[in-house]
Amino acid sequence: MVDVMTLLQGKGDLAAVLGGLSGLVVYPASIVGDAENLFFLGRFSRGRYLGVLTGARVVPPFELDMRPVRIDGAELTLGLGPTNHVNALALRARLPFTAPTLVGVRKSAGLGDRLGIATPGHVRALREVAGIFPILAQQSIREMERTGRGPEEVLDAATWGVFQEGWRSGFGADADHLKTLADVGRCAAAGFLTYTLDPSEYVDVGAETDSPAVLEAKLKALPWEILKSEPTKVRQTYLGKAIPVPPAGMAVGERLAKTVDEEHLLRAACKYGHAIAHLVTMYQHLMRVRAGQPFEVEISVDETDAPTTPLEHYYVASELGRLGVKWISLAPRYVGRFEKGVDYIGDLAHFEANFAAHVAIAKALGPYKLSLHSGSDKFSIYPLVARIAGGLVHLKTAGTSYLEALRAVAMLDPELFREILRFAVAHYERDRASYYVSAKITNVPEAGSLPDDALSGLLDQPDVRQVLHVTFGTVLTARDGAGRPRFQERLLAVLEAHEEIHYGVLQTHMRRHLVPFSD
């Protein structure tokens, strides 16, 4: 067998050598190999291709077109293949750094990628910070449905991006906001390792204001067979229990309950009882479909209208622990407004006290991380979150990378950006229904009224950001009269033709998110 690496030593720039052999523009950071095979990624026109230079005739189980090449009299084989699912699976098996791993309770950040081409920019931002473990494959079922992608595509995109950039420090794969057993099964089959379970549709917000009689009726009707308890045991377990909340909250006006009283216990049990049962059901299903393979869970109760009180957090976490559910992070619904694409809206002192209480509970009952969902662009709270939570924090971002891609489009193809913005404005009122946003289309300037060099600045305006943020699915799946993609292909073509500009915009923006949490 020919020793490929030894043979190529002294040949100069490896990327140039491989480019000469393959006809590709090779990404230098992607080149990796052993004595028998050299793997690399390159681009030609709009396509990316996997390359393998080997002393063997075939390299199973990759799908490659093989042809002989000669270097210094040595007979080698060059294989080129598409960046498809089969080759992504084979690459993950051959090069473990391109496969996801467990995240655990270490400090982390989820960097969602709605277009499937953002990972290189994310990796470049990560290289400028320390102590933050990335989740580079992250997308919710809702986002997958709106973009027409599947779990395999999301994970494969991260694999190819990691390979392209030569990121060797590991990454996670988060199947985000899973609400059904079918969703869990789909993402498990694709190879995700982190599962964000979302029982928000089972949270009974009416319990916050129900009369005592209604509460008693709701309490009796909870699915006690799944919860493995009954009303009397709930009272015996929790009444009078001390809640581990810090005294500092009182100094800034946050009224924190110190012990569990009857009224608030019943409201918490009724508000979250069905949600807890649904989480247990999903967790047990996950154990079955993973069949002994490793996995980890995040609990998300953030997508509700009312904040999660410290007492409610204490009750939910205590009950899940009693029922055998294990998790690495939990996302409560914090006070204030975590709207998409813009900074935190609310009183910072109130948020600080509320967040400190949640951290205290997470430390006492875990430890587990506190997760910031819709966490992108919340620059005003990052310093205090980092100070209070320390390493017990997970920042979750997604749509902000799509917005920065549109910033790059505004710079590179102003007319395309104008078309997208007008289309987004026309569809905003419909698309906003499932998001927490407050943008008004009357505050969005008419794109035609602005010169080209002012368009990218629109991405700094909150109303514009939210309008573009929530209409991403409609924009990416829109078709023209002939059934062809109206925007998606042109948008991707612009970004791929100017990928270094796109990566640079992403790197700058995501660095702002990560630096406050850096060691």
Fill in the DSSP letter of residue 51.
E
> Is 134:125 a contact under the CB 8 Å cutoff?
no
Interhelix angle 212-220/262-290, nearest 10 degrees? 30
Question: Catalytic residues, which ones?
Answer: 176, 298
3-state secondary structure of 351: helix
Alpha-carbon gap, residue 190 to 437, rounded angstroms: 32
Fill in the DSSP letter of residue 291.
T
Alpha-carbon gap, residue 515 to 305, rounded angstroms: 30
Contacts of 293 (CB under 8 A, 6+ apart): none
Cα 313 from chain centroid (whole Å) = 23
On the 0-12 / 13-18 / 19+ scale of CB atoms within 10 A, 436 is: middle
Contacts of 504 (CB under 8 A, 6+ apart): 121
Q: Where are the beta strands (DSSP E) in 270-402?
A: 296-300, 329-331, 369-372, 393-397
Alpha-carbon gap, residue 80 to 32, rounded angstroms: 15
What would the two tokens of residue 151 be?
Answer: 């779990």
From residue 469, alpha-carbon distances to 203, 306, 482 in Å are: 26, 23, 26
